Structure 1
Amino acid sequence: MPTYKLTYFKGRGRAEIARLLFAAGGVKYEDVRLEGEEWQQLKPKTPMGQLPVLEVDGVMICQSKAIARLIAKDIGMAGKTPVEQARADMICDSVEDLGNKLMFMFTEKDENKKEEKKKEFLEKTLPPILDLFEKLASAEGYFVGNSLTWADVNFFAFFGFVNGFFPGDHLKGYVNLNKVMGNVSSNPGIEKWLKERPESTF
């Protein structure tokens, strides 16, 4: 088994899917959390000047989805066949697209405009996309095959992010998606991590 070192800021953010996957696979890793000056010192040494970064036997990998996909392959949660792997990628890319629609939370400075965009996201953007995800998830609560994959974990991590910004029951009425969330949170390793992980808003 390789040695892993995951570096990110003091929060969940884009590194949390990697942490959840490590927990699901029972994989030991070094969980490094940086603050301002520490990051400025490390930044020039990273492949693309950004976090998270995963070091695998000393080799640096960046981009959260590339990191998550690598871990998923290592722990057997990437999909059992090439088609299953492509389907998992499809779900994860779709979650990423949805996440990009939340960037206004960081870029919009006008609070009134931010509130308008928040309302539009929750009332117009989110529901039709959730309708599609509901159809893609099985009645057993999996996006791919009949067992947990990184697609399920990615969806779970993203909704932790959504609920942090917009508290509420956004998955009310989505039977399959609630089963996805339950399947992820009841994984023994993830269940333990959720109880023990450092407190943070996002």
Structure 2
Amino acid sequence: MSSYKLRYFDGRGRAEMIRLCLAATGANYEDIRMNFEQWTKFKPSTIAGHMPILEVDGKQLAEADAIAKFVGREHGLAGEGNWEMAQIDMIFGICTDLRKELFETHFEKDEKVKAEKIEKLKKEVLPKFLDIFEKILESNGKGDRFLVGSSVTVADIVVFDVLDLAASKGLVDFKEHPKMDCFKKKVAELPRIAEYLKLRPNSNM
């Protein structure tokens, strides 16, 4: 069995969906949370010069989406056939767009601009993405519990992660999207995910 080491800062960021994917598989891994000084020393030895990084039996894999999909393929959470895998790729791309909006707002330094961005997230951005995710959920011909196919995939986990992050900031209201609220709760209640959520460190972002 492969040995995994996941390296990132002490926060959710781009690594949290990977931690959730690893948790969902039950895989053993070392969750290495680095401070800035440690990262500065480690950075020259990395492939791409940024984290997260997954070390698999001593070999490095960079880019969060690639890592999450690799974990999914290794542990049966990557969908069945080219169509389901393409759907998963699509969902990852949509989540990247939403995560970018969330991160840009979080790290905005101008307080007035930040307040405007928060309002836009609440009233326009999040409702738009919830509509998209709900359409994908409803279009799954194998049931409306999961986004792709008839069992959990990394697509469900990455959508859960980005919605969970938005919800933790008070940015999302599920009142108009009860199916997505139900979806989020179902993923959170998956036994291994529930155990991880119960034990994970508190983090601002």
Which TM-score band applies after superposition, normalised by the shorter structure?
over 0.9
Residues 141, 177 of structure 1: 8 Å contact kept: no
| Structure 1: segments with no counterpart, 5+ residues | none
Residues 88, 151 of structure 1: 8 Å contact kept: yes
1:149 corresponds in structure 2 to: 153
In the alignment, structure 1 residue 90 sits paired with structure 2 residue 90: yes
Residues 136, 143 of structure 1: 8 Å contact kept: yes
2:48 corresponds in structure 1 to: 48
1:58 corresponds in structure 2 to: 58
Superposition RMSD in Å: 1.5
| Superposed CA offset, 1:178-198 (max 9, x none) | 232122111111111011112
| Structure 2: segments with no counterpart, 5+ residues | none
1:116 corresponds in structure 2 to: 116
Residues 84, 145 of structure 1: 8 Å contact kept: yes
How far off its partner does 1:106 sit?
Answer: 4.8
1:129 corresponds in structure 2 to: 129
**For the residues of structure 2 that align with 1:169 and 1:128, how far apart are their CA atoms?**
11
| Superposed CA offset, 1:26-51 (max 9, x none) | 10011100011101001111111111
Length-normalised TM-score, structure 1? 0.93
Residues 16, 161 of structure 2: 8 Å contact kept: yes
Identity of aligned residues (%): 38
Residues 92, 151 of structure 1: 8 Å contact kept: yes
How far off its partner does 1:163 sit?
Answer: 2.2
**For the residues of structure 2 that align with 1:26 and 1:181, how far apart are their CA atoms?**
20
Partner residue of 2:193 out of 185, 190, 193 = 190
**For the residues of structure 2 that align with 1:167 and 1:31, how far apart are their CA atoms?**
27
2:24 corresponds in structure 1 to: 24
Residues 128 and 106 from structure 1, CA distance in 2 versus in 1: closer, same or farther, beyond 3 angstroms? closer
Residues 7, 54 of structure 1: 8 Å contact kept: yes
**For the residues of structure 2 that align with 1:141 and 1:31, how far apart are their CA atoms?**
30
| Superposed CA offset, 1:61-92 (max 9, x none) | 11110000000111111101111011011111
SS at match of 1:102: helix
Q: In structure 1, what residue type is equivalent to 2:163?
A: F
Matched length: 201
Larger deviation, residues 24-33 vs 116-125: 116-125
Partner residue of 2:165 out of 161, 167, 171 = 161
SS at match of 2:182: helix
Length-normalised TM-score, structure 2? 0.92
Residues 53, 62 of structure 1: 8 Å contact kept: yes
**For the residues of structure 2 that align with 1:173 and 1:116, how far apart are their CA atoms?**
22
**For the residues of structure 1 that align with 2:144 and 2:189, how far apart are their CA atoms?**
14
SS at match of 1:67: helix
